[in-house]
Structure formats: C-alpha cells, structure tokens
Amino acid sequence: MNVNLDLVFAIDCTGSMVCHIAVVKQKVNKMVEEICNSKKAHVRLGLVGYRDYDTEDAGCLIKVYPFTDSMSTIQTNVNELLAAGGGDCEAFALAFHNCRNLTWRDNCTKIVVIIADAPPHGIGEWSDKYPGGDPSGFDSIKIAYDMATSGVVVYSLYCPDQYGFTLAQDYFKKISSITGGLYLPIENADSLPEIIIGSIKETLSLEQILEQLKDEIEVQRSKGLEKEQLSKVLHEGHSNTLMVENLAIVGGNNDKVLMLNKNVSLEQVERIIKWDSQRKKKEILVKPKDFEDNTSLFQTHMVLIKDLQLRHA
C-alpha cells in the first residue's frame, strides 16, 4: 500500500502565546512522534509560525519551514519558535495562505493543524487594528474553501485567550468544518494523533472515487440541481462525512469535543461574525476549475456530473 501524509502545523507565535508555547511545543512534538511512529504512511511535515503586522522585526512576521520527512528536523524547528509581538488579532490569513502554497503532494492525505489563541483580522472582534481584513488581502474563509477543494483537512487547536475574544472560537470551528476537520481546545490535543492516524487512507484513483459518488450524484441530479449547486451539495456532504468519521474516532470520552463540533453552519458563523455591508454582498462559493490532471473532490464531482450529463443526453 502506497500511503502518504503531508501534515502542516500553523502556530501563533505572538506574545499572548507565551504562557502556552511550552505546552504547544510539547504537544506538537508528541503528535509528531505518535504519527511518524505509527508507520501508517510516508509522512512529510511542515511548519508555519506567524505573528502580527506590528512586529518590530518585519522578518519575523511569518516563518515557513518547508516539508521534510525528518521527524527530528521538524521537532528542532518547533523548539526554535518564540512567542513575541502581537496584541490583538493576528496575521492568520497570511499564514494560512502560506500553508496553502506549500508543495503538497497530489496523492496523499493532506492536513493542516492550527494552534492559536487569537482570530484573524477583519471578523468583527472588539479589538482589531485592521477591521477591514488582513493587510495582505487574503481571506482565510476563502482559503479554507480552496483547501477543501484540494483535499486538505484543517484541525484547529484553540488555546485560552487573555483578551476576551468573542468570535475566535466560532471562527476556528468554521475554518475546520468547511474542510471536514474538527475544532478542539488545546487540552484535548492528545486526541488528535489518533484522529490523524485514523484519517490516513490509501489515495483512491479517480475511477474509484467516481464509482463511490455515482449513486449520490444520480439522487441529487434527479432533484433538478444545476451542476454548480450539485457539486456544492456533494462537497458539503463529503465534509460532513469526514467530520462524522473524525468524531467517531474521538468517541464518547470527549463529550466537550463532540458538543463543540456539532451543528456548525456557515449561517451560524455569519450571524455571529459582524461582516461589513460590502462583504455581506459577496457569496462565498466554490468555483469550478480545470478538471485535467486534478483529482480533488470538487473537480471529481464536476467531472462525474459532466460524464452523467453526456450519458443521459
């Protein structure tokens, strides 16, 4: 069985994390050991450390460590992280973009683990120097949808914050749920290696994925949905299935995790987050891209829809 896992940790390294950073390092290193020692896959590990735009040394805003298959290398990189700077919301959208831009393998399980105690800019928090959004121009919600279409699953580990953020936890719940991942408080981090190991599967061929989706496509198609709507329904259904599978791995011993990840919807988050009027007018949609040489879930749905339309023409 040729099974691969690309795993990236995105870690908030601002000053507010100073009381958490030692625990974070310990838990990340433990996760890395458990996952690598499981021998379930060929594992590559990446790391993105991030701060905020008020950091005195601009070179410390983002630190990207590319994928490596060396467990000791990534653990050394994690141990080098220092908590400093920041003060309100963070440059998370820029960090998330850097996660997306790493050299992911095509045929593998793809996972991002976010560890943070503060939300991104531009979601309506009471303390935000950049209420209009991240100065980089990147939108982390849109990036999450982009990752989902590429088969990347996002897990969020949230550390208790000292600023009294009211929207952060709901935001990270949504970031994870978009991709079929989970939101966990940092104290439940020990559950994550089991979840990740359980999610490692042999990459299916396009033909196998099409066969699995055929019946569902036929059912949804009979309802008269347009192909973009149909693809979106299937994408959301797949994300929900991933979440259910992850929750099954967590099991009854983590009732708090089960409760936190139950019934998360975009409508709930958009009601909580105070989007500005201009942003409310913009629909967040998964846009179809080229199908050629791309076996991501969304592209697969669109290829199958096209195939079925030709058969029934």
Q: What is the CA radius of gyration of the chain?
A: 19
Span 12-27, average pLDDT: 88
CB 217 within 8 A of CB 234: yes
Number of residues assigned to the chain: 313
For residue 165, the SS3 value is: coil
Residue of 71, 70, 75, 92 lying closest to 13 (CA atoms): 92
Span 101-112, average pLDDT: 92
pLDDT per position as a tens digit, 216-240: 556 656 666 565 555 555 555 555 5
Walk me through the domains of the chain, giving residue ranges and CATH numbers: 4-199 (3.40.50.410), 206-250+283-312 (no CATH)
- Kindly report which listed range (137-151, 211-225, 258-272, 274-288) carries the lowest average pLDDT score: 274-288
Span 241-255, average pLDDT: 49
Residue 245: per-residue pLDDT: 52
Residue 179: per-residue pLDDT: 85
Span 10-21, average pLDDT: 89
Which structure tokens are listed for 180? 């079929």
Rounded to two decimals, the pTM is: 0.70
Sign, Cα dihedral of 8, 66, 47, 291: negative
Q: Edge-to-edge, what's the strand order for the sheet holding 4-12?
A: 62-68, 42-50, 4-12, 109-116, 152-158, 183-185
Separation CA 142–CA 284 (nearest Å)? 7
Q: Which residue has the higher pLDDT, 57 or 153?
A: 153
- Kindly report which listed range (20-34, 52-66, 116-130, 274-288) carries the lowest average pLDDT score: 274-288
Residue of 300, 280, 279 lying closest to 289 (CA atoms): 300
- DSSP H or E run through 199: helix 192-199
Residue 284: per-residue pLDDT: 36
